[in-house]
Structure 1
Amino acid sequence: MEKELLIIGNGFDLQCGLKTRYKDFFFDRYGVNLVAERLKVEDNNSENIQFSKYQIEAENTIIALLKEIVDSLDIDRLLQNKSNANGYLVNYFLQKLRKNGLLENDLKIEFTNWDVIFLVSYVLMKRNLYWNDVEKAIFDVTSLVLKFDQNEFSDCSFVSKSDKDKFKKIVRYCFKENRKDVASAMLDALKKFEKQFAKYIRKQMHEHKREYLSNVSKLLKKITFVDDTKSVELDVINFNYSLDEYTVHYLEEQKAISNISVNSWVNIHGIAYWNNSKVRTFLNRIHGRDHGALPAPIFGIDGHDILSPSENKILDLDDPRIIFTKSYRLIDSRINTIRDKEHKLPSTVNKIIFYGHSLGHADYSYFETLFDLYKLFDSDVELDFYYHSHNQRLKNRKSEQNMLKQVVNLLTSYGETLPDQHGENIVNRLVLEQRLNLFPTSKC
């Protein structure tokens, strides 16, 4: 039986029908979808018009409202005030959004200073930067507040220099706390924000459960190439918060993924159903432990970004941002409560598959560890990478080229960690030995 390691990113969930992009979450959280639904109801011709059209119109409505709110802020006066922020901006934005009917269906919504930052960034920054890259937002904001680093915000990210200056002032005021440990206050607020994201993912899974599980089964079979003549022992590292071991066990019981034997499954950054009693009971039973709540979803920055400037390039343990790194967050979230030593990665695999993962620099440390574990340079391990396919030839080609670029960057970076090797050597070797494959995604 062939042994394969599957690494899943958000593209997997998108392919299976869930709207799990950060922007989808923000649209749902800040009323864009709510306004779009109202516009759709008001439009007598809505049956033949895609919902996205109403989202665009709703988005413009929200931007106009947020711009009005941000313009009304006298942030210089607030900063000069000697008293602490004490959640002033959180309450201010929350009241404004509710007054305009954007949160009327969710009176218990828990807002944080991170919500304020994401809302303000949507008005003052270009290209919805933070709504597409939450980890970058965390790095930039913590760098400004904790390291007083003014260089993280490039001018090209903002409409104007005055917008950039105002954004930075609002960020500083958001975390103008009376606590000595501002870093801990920022992390506590981030944890609350993350739990709201988990709530959104649970909502997505509930609304699309039947279609999603059917697509998951089909896609797992396609990725592993199983059929009546081939069986696979599969280990999975899932960077998503949705599909967890409890759900996969259900698919196995339903014989929906026949010829696939799941050896181990871990949601490396936590699970959406972290506080679900059924999921907790199941995972505690199969892993022989009971640690109460399961690890909730985490966002984090890459430790590479806060390396010491010395030649040794070691992690700066005195950097206050260290508690926001993924390595720290993994330990803090008690990720091992959904793992045990019996359900662990095998000592050897035939293939490592990357599906739906952007191969961002923030996750290089995970991949480099796996490549070391399986001795990628000197072994026979194959690598399969999937890129998002399009119906249009030009878009498809660009998608393929972008993924190829990410693959080369990842492997070259890893090659530079190997003794007596040049970074590009590993790419050349994998190509010559036919161990590097690039595939387009396909419909479920």
Structure 2
Amino acid sequence: MSTNEQVSKLLLKWYACSSDANSIMRVMMQELHRLESAFSSYMKNEADGNENYLSRACLLLEKLMNDQLSDYNTLLTNNTYKIGEDISFGSSFNNVRILDFNYTDPIYGIEIAPTLINIHGNIHGGDIIFGIDSNSVDTDDSNYPGLVKFTKTYRLMALGKGNKTKLVHPHVSGQPGSETSIIKFFGHSLGDPDYSYFQAIFDEVDLYGSDTRLVFYYNQKRLNENKDDKKSKNATSENAQEEMFEKVNRLITTYGQTLDNKDHGRNLMHKLLLENRLQVVQAPV
């Protein structure tokens, strides 16, 4: 008996539901809602229970926004806040757009702050979602109408809370510099479930033909999360840079395969490197 068959039998027994696909998927969606609700409550309690969470998160955010900018000195807000003190951002960050894949909001309640969008909902709105990438669902599958409801795209549409703020400035032919100048990635696994977002962003700025720079941050100081023994967990990850190189290579290579001009797709990585538009650097932490 295959693993899928074993899981199906357990589901039928546990939930006492019919064996048809629609019944199983209906039960799974109910369980998904329960999981999201429980996770949202847990995350909110954790954030509210840490008195320095917001100030520490904002300090890190400010460092990330300033990093790798040629006009760093003019944008630096001279650390207008310290851990535990009141938080504020300068108006110089008005052109910053943040796409947050987490469910917490480090600038929640701050009047003057960069524009931040929790693409999958946040703990303050009670509308967080989990889901799979739409590219992983085969449209020819006989169960597609039910499976598509588990994708992030479908679930965002069903929420009816579409983002009204432009995250990136598109590339306009004949207008050099019209596109978003720099896109930074921090704390994201760059995994398949969110690939559709990256593809849409790269398409919008015309990554091959524009001047948009990409900066990917790794954290050499992070603890080893995948080790079993306590001693190894407390040790820093020495291969964080190498891991990020592999992830970035996979992301850019995968995106290159979607370009209409296959020659452009194959040499996209080389072009970005030659034009100094691709960097993998240690995060300013």
Q: TM-score, normalised by structure 1?
A: 0.49
* Change beyond 3 A, Cα 1:316–1:305: farther
**In the alignment, structure 1 residue 273 sits paired with structure 2 residue 114:** no
Provide the secondary structure at the position in 2 that maps to 1:365: helix
Q: How many residues align?
A: 241
Match of 1:198 among 22, 31, 40: 40
Say which SS state the counterpart of residue 344 (structure 1) adopts: coil
Deviation sequence 1:261-302 (CA, Å, 0-9, x none) = 62x321110111124xxxxxxxxxxxxxxxxxxxx1111111
Structure of higher CA gyration radius: 1
Distance 2:269 2:142 in 1: 31
Q: Distance in 2 between matches of 1:194 and 1:318?
A: 23
Which residues in structure 2 correspond to 1:135-154 (within 5 Å)? Answer: 150=2
- Distance verdict in 2 for CA 1:198–1:308, change over 3 Å: same
Amino acid at match of 1:412: T
Give the deviation of 1:319 after TM superposition: 4.8
Pick closer, same or farther for the CA change 1:273–1:179 going to 2, 3 Å: farther
Quickly say closer, same or farther: Cα 1:395–1:426, change in 2 above 3 A: farther
Please, which of 223, 237, 241 is the counterpart of residue 400 of structure 1?
Answer: 241
Change (3 A) 1:388 1:174: farther
Please provide the CA RMSD for this pair.
2.8
Partner of 1:335, secondary structure, is coil
Measure, in 2, the Cα distance between the counterparts of 1:421 and 1:251. 46
Q: Which residue of 2 aligns with 1:170?
A: 10
**Does 1 or 2 have the higher relative contact order (CA < 8 Å, sep 6+)?**
1
Q: Name the structure 2 match of 1:234.
A: 96
Partner of 1:344: 166
* Residues 238 and 268 in structure 1, CA contact (< 8 A), matched pair in contact too: yes
Q: CA deviation at 1:411?
A: 0.7
Equivalent position to 1:217, from 58, 64, 83: 58
The answer on whether the counterparts of 2:220 and 2:239 sit within 8 Å (CA) in structure 1 is: no
CA distance in 2, matches of 1:424, 1:297: 37
Name the CA distance, whole Å, in 2 between partners of 1:354 and 1:188: 33
1:413 pairs, out of 242, 251, 254, with 254
Q: Percent identity of the aligned residues?
A: 29
Provide the residue aligned with 1:431 in structure 2: 273
Aligned to 1:306: 137
Look up the SS of the partner of 1:240 in the other structure: coil
- When normalised by structure 2's length, the TM-score is 0.75
CA distance in 2, matches of 1:325, 1:150: 25
Aligned residue type for 2:105: L
- Give distance in 2, aligned partners of 1:395 and 1:371: 32
Give how far 1:176 is off: 3.6
Name which of 103, 110, 133 aligns with 1:250: 110
Q: Is the 8 A contact 1:300 1:329 kept in 2?
A: yes
Determine whether 1:387 maps to 2:218. Answer: yes
Q: Matches of 1:185 and 1:169 in 2, distance apart?
A: 14
- Is this contact kept in 2: 1:244–1:265, CA < 8 A? no
Q: Provide the C-alpha distance between the structure 2 equivalents of 1:391 and 1:416, rounded to a whole number of angstroms.
A: 32
Alpha-carbon distance in 1 for matches of 2:158, 2:73: 43
Instruction: Give the counterpart letter for 1:344 in structure 2.
Output: K
The letter of the residue matching 1:239 is: F
CA offset digits 1:143-196 (Å, max 9, x no partner): xxxxxx94669xxxxxxxxxxx5x664244234415973222321221121011
Residue 98 of structure 1 aligns with which residue?
none
Query: Per-residue deviation at 1:390?
Result: 2.6
Distance 1:421 1:152, change over 3 A: farther
Match of 1:250, SS state, is coil
Pair 420,235 (structure 1): closer, same or farther in 2 beyond 3 Å = same
- The C-alpha deviation readout for 1:329-383, integer Å capped at 9, x for no partner, is 11122232xx43xx32242211001110000111110000000001111111000
Asked if the contact 1:306–1:319 (Cα under 8 Å) also holds between the matched residues in 2, the reply is: no
The structure with the largest helix share of the pair is 1
Report what 1:278 is aligned to.
none
Distance 1:244 1:322, change over 3 A: farther
The 5 Å alignment of 1:10-159 reads 150=2
Distance 2:148 2:16 in 1: 20
Correspondence for 1:332 among 149, 153, 158: 158
Q: 8 Å contact 1:270–1:335 — kept in the other structure?
A: no
| 4+ long deviations beyond 6 Å | none
Shift of 1:424: 3.7
2:137–2:144 CA contact under 8 A, matched in 1: no
- Structure 1 pair 346–401 and aligned structure 2 pair: CA distance change class (3 A): closer
CA deviation profile, 1:3-25 (whole Å, cap 9, x unmatched): xxxxxxxxxxxxxxxxxxxxxxx
Q: Which runs of 5+ in 2 are unaligned?
A: 76-91, 170-178, 224-234
Distance 1:251 1:218 in 2: 16
Going from structure 1 to structure 2, the CA distance change for 1:360 and 1:316 (only over 3 Å counts) comes to farther
- Within 5 A, what are the aligned runs for 1:275-294? 275=126
C-alpha displacement of 1:215: 1.1
Alignment-derived partner of residue 111 in structure 1:
none
- Indicate how the Cα distance of structure 1 residues 397 and 379 shifts in structure 2: closer, same or farther if over 3 A, else same: farther
**2: CA distance between counterparts of 1:170 and 1:270?**
31
Listed one character per residue, the Cα deviations across residues 8-67 of structure 1 (whole Å, up to 9, x for unaligned) are: xxxxxxxxxxxxxxxxxxxxxxxxxxxxxxxxxxxxxxxxxxxxxxxxxxxxxxxxxxxx
Quick one: distance in 1 between partners of 2:124 and 2:267? 43
